Amino acid sequence: MDDAAVLERKGYSLSATLGEGSYGKVKSAYCNKLKCNVAVKIIDKRKTPQDFLERFLPREIAALKRLHHPSIIKTYEIFETSSGKVYIIMELGVKGDLLDYIKITGAMKEDFARLKFQQLASAIKHCHDSDLAHRDLKCENILLDKDLNVKLSDFGFSKPLSRDENGRTILSKTFCGSAAYAAPEVLQGIPCDPKISDIWSLGVILYTMVYALMPFDDSNVRKMIYIQKQHRIPFPKSKYLTTECKDLIYHLLQPDVSQRLCIDEVLKHSWLQTPKSHIPTPLSAAETGTRSYGQKHIRKLSGHSAAD
């Protein structure tokens, strides 16, 4: 039975392909029950590596079932057919991803960037409070709804955090994510707390929001790491930014992990308090309706990733 027939029996009318990756594709569909369009991620387990099936797919499904927050993409249903295909039915980011939005509209005004960054940071706080690191934060993985609200997506490289006998987070040891967004300790293969590495990625994203540029040129990764470790952040004079915004970027892109902000400190930063606006809070299970079953210019990054 083909995908359209499988989904038709579940009440979905399959439509256009939104994207294709190494291990699956994402298509749009109309949900008869919800009376709206949704995104359908389709993964054929027969065509995917064993490592992906044993580690990454279960982690992604577990994360989607576990996380309920207004700024995290909502999952409506997950099911698997006897032929070995997994279907993940999710909220549709009708305005596309953040990178495409910035490429079309240019750099965000600071007040608008503040609102979007608050939404994103609150989603990361929910992940971190749930002892989960995203590990692949980038503009392409931030979707926008019809009102341009942030919807964090793609938890394929997310990892639940383990702790040792003393309650300390067990460090991650291998590269994960896209080089342009990855923290220097990740690029160097230094054991690190993946939550702290997520914070660096937030810094790259915020910089990209307000400048429509990437902060570092990743065409030469070794040179990029050297510049990052010098804590040399280019703030173009062509655009005015408040001191508070620059200060937050500076502290997010802190190469010393012992000095980098945690997510609670990010949300308490003065730039996010002026003007004070509503920060989304986690949703209850009842609110989500989730059903669970068994370099200078902005450009698309290749997203080559490896993970532990």
* Both tokens assigned to 211: 């400048």
What are residue 85's DSSP bridge partners? 44
Pick from 141, 227, 208, 136: which is nearest to 175 by CA?
Answer: 136
Q: Please check if 173 is assigned to a binding site.
A: no
Catalytic residue among 136, 154, 193, 198: 136
Active site residue 136: yes
Pick from 87, 81, 91: which is nearest to 149 by CA?
Answer: 91
- Cα 293 to Cα 81: distance, rounded to the nearest angstrom: 11
Q: Which residues does the annotation place in the binding site for ATP?
A: 41
Q: Which residues does the annotation place in the binding site?
A: 41
Residue positions annotated with a catalytic role:
136
